[in-house]
Structures are given as C-alpha cells and as structure tokens.
Amino acid sequence: MRWVGFGVVVALATVMTACSGSSTVATSTPVTPAPSAGPAETTASAEPSLPATQAAAADPCGQAFLARLTPRQKLGQLLTVGVTGTADAVSVVRDSQVGGIFIGGWTDQSLLTAGGVGQVQGAANIPVMVTIDEEGGRVSRVANLIGSAPAARELPDAMSPQQVREFTAERARKMKELGITVDFAPDVDVSSQPDDSVIGDRSYSDDPNVVTQYGDAVIQGLHDGGLGAVIKHFPGHGSGSGDSHTGAVSTPPLDQLQTTDLVPFRNLVGSGAGVMVGHLDVPGLTAPGVPASISPAAMNLLRTGADYNAPPFDGVIFTDDLGGMAAITSRMSIPDAVEAALEAGADNALWITTDEVPAVLDRLDGAVTQGRLPEARVDQSVLRVARYKGALTC
C-alpha cells in the first residue's frame, strides 16, 4: 500500500492546534497556576476516564477503517518495535502488521538509504510509522546522514526559538527523505541535573517556560518538515531519582510537579504532538510498583487534564521502551508490560526488538477475549494512531 505521508498529519496537527489555541508561548508567559494534586490510584486496574473519542468507533468513517483489519491486526497497530534492518522490519510488518517500527543506534542504516523503507511500506496493509529518537546532542541516530545538532541545553544560548524551528524543520525534511515519519522528540523534561545524567543536557532548561518555548519550536519545526512529534517523558523525568534505563525512578510528589515538570506538558498538549509516558513512580499519583507508563491514574491525568489544569489530551499516548529499561524489565516481562500499558490507557506500546511480537499478540488476544482489554478501547486506540500517522483522514 502506498505511504500516505506525514504531510496529512501536519495538516491535522494544524487543525488541532487551531482548535485548542496556539501552542507558541511568549518569553514572558508565567507558569500556569497549578491545582492541588489528585488522589493516587488504589489499584493497577482502575479504569481511566475516556474522552470524546469514545464515540469515534461509531462513526461511519472509523467503522469502515476498522473493518479493514482483523482483530489481531488491530492489536498489531498498537505496537512499535525496534528493528535491526530491512529484513527484520519487512518480516514483522508482513507477519504481524505492527503499527510502527523504531530506528535505533543498532539498526542497519541501509534500511533508510537503500530503499528498505519502501519495502517495509509495501508489506503493510496500513502505512507504518517509521520512528526514531533524534533529539540532537548525545541522543542522535542519523547525524551522519542529516548533520549534527546541539544538545537541548545549549540551544537557548545559541539560537532563538524561531531559529530552532527553522533548524529543526530542515533536519526534519532530511529525515522525511529517508522515510522517517515520527521523531520521538522533543524532550520537554525540566532539569538542572548534570549534563551527563539521564536527562541532563537533553533538557532545554530548569525553567519550565524556557522548556515550553523551545519544545514548542521543535514541535513546530518537525511539523513544518513533515514529521510527527512526541513530547516526553510525562509527567516529568527531569527531577527523577535516577535513570529508568537502569532501575526504578521516583519523582517528587505530584503536587511538587505542578509548578515545574508538568508545566511544559500543560502548555504543549494542544500542539498536535503525541505524548510519551515515562517509567516513573510518582508519589500522590501512581500506586506502589506501578510506574506511570503502566498506570491508569497517570493515563487518566493526561487524558482529562483536570488534575493539572491542562486541556484534555485526545492524541496518541506512547509508552517509553518497555523492553530495554530496567524500571520495567526488573518488574515484568514484555508481554506483561505491553498488556498492562494498553489496559492502563496507552495507545501504542514501544520496545526495541521484534522477537516478542508473536507472544505479545497472543497475550493481547487473550486480554481482549477475557475482557481485560475492552475491544472498544482497542478500536479507539487504532483510530487515534491511524489519524496521527495520516492513514485515516476523514
């Protein structure tokens, strides 16, 4: 099937931004007043509130799109998996119809430079998101192909937001030419931690208004260049106790996040970007041992916006990597984690290999059959993802 292209998504993102107000924030914008923190979840299976998209599956356009997919293919659309190269990517798309593939530092770049993406899209019933986490600085996968970019922390001293938008747009156009469609960027964590810490120089500033300005510039630049953007790591990794790649991470309590870490998310959820939820234990929000990426309470906070004074978010919720980060893998298997994340309310589960895809789909099939993962929620997420990636435009 021919790739629809992220130009459609940019148009949709523009409409979404217009409907919710401009996401551009002036330098003098004060921190949005914060409400008191809501109560923590009591169980890992609490049902998050669902927004207006609950009726989406009932609309004729959505129904027609869903009818093109088998139940197992619908579940495949909710997965994004890291691939080693063209053969691996074609195989997982052909056999499992996953919704997205992820380009990591380990991925053979001939996938991008020798026509591999076209082969992948040719194996897909529904266009595939080709994702990457190209932030610049030390998190850069294709600098050798598109040029390098400074670390986020360097940008406020080096460029204006408008210059960052233009610089990002040029890099986005080069990524789009390679077949990439979604960049898991910008990182809108607020942090003063040392440059070489897990967030560190990936953060624009310890000032949430500066983070908002520069995060917005990157989002708009990515959209200008034809890519989807994803802000991360909700509800904020910048003040976390450690590195979620190596173990469990606790943040300050939710009420303390209200005037710092949550501010950029509050300001940018209407920008048309997706949101990536981190593996973060948040006192006052998540239950013990249930990080935000698999927490119904965290998903509900993002969806409704009510307990952090933000607009409701009805875009795509991505998880952080569920297969290569000890904050999750020390607690559960990939199939367990994917099921928990989707049941909690995430739309798309991310991990970095293809080996577990059949086992994950078997687990999700069982979760739907047994009622743990409602079919209506699966349909909701399929439609959100399809609209985000431009596969559904009505």
Choose the catalytic residue: 320, 321, 347, 379: 320
Is the pTM above the cut of 0.75? yes
Cβ-contact 385, 355 below 8 angstroms? no
Q: Which two tokens stand for residue 3?
A: 């790739």
The domain segmentation of the chain, as residue ranges, is: 7-24+52-63+78-388
Secondary structure string (H, E, C) spanning 16-47? HHHHHCCCCCCCCCCCCCCCCCCCCCCCCCCC
CB neighbours (10 Å) of residue 376? 13
Cβ-contact 217, 188 below 8 angstroms? no
Q: What is the pLDDT along the chain (394 residues), one digit of tens a residue?
A: 333 344 433 333 333 332 333 333 333 333 343 443 443 453 333 444 444 444 444 689 999 999 999 999 999 999 999 999 999 999 999 999 999 999 999 999 999 999 999 999 999 999 999 999 999 999 999 999 999 999 999 999 999 999 999 999 999 999 999 999 999 999 999 999 999 999 999 999 999 999 999 999 999 999 999 999 999 999 999 999 877 887 888 999 999 999 999 999 999 999 999 999 999 999 999 999 899 999 999 999 999 999 999 999 999 999 999 998 888 988 899 999 999 999 999 999 999 999 999 999 999 999 999 999 999 999 999 999 999 999 998 8
For residue 320, indicate whether it is catalytic: yes
| Residue 135 CA from chain centroid, whole number | 13
Domain 7-24+52-63+78-388 homologous superfamily, CATH? Glycoside hydrolase, family 3, N-terminal domain (3.20.20.300)
Nearest residue to 304 (alpha-carbon basis) of 35, 20, 55, 51: 51
129-132 and 100-103 beta bridge pairing: parallel
Which SS3 state, helix, strand or coil, does residue 15 take? helix
Nearest residue to 340 (alpha-carbon basis) of 77, 53, 56, 46: 46
Q: What are the CA-CA distances from residue 43 to residues 7, 118, 287 (Å)?
A: 41, 44, 7
Choose the catalytic residue: 95, 206, 224, 245: 245
Q: What are the CA-CA distances from residue 149 to residues 226, 292, 305, 308 (Å)?
A: 18, 30, 33, 33
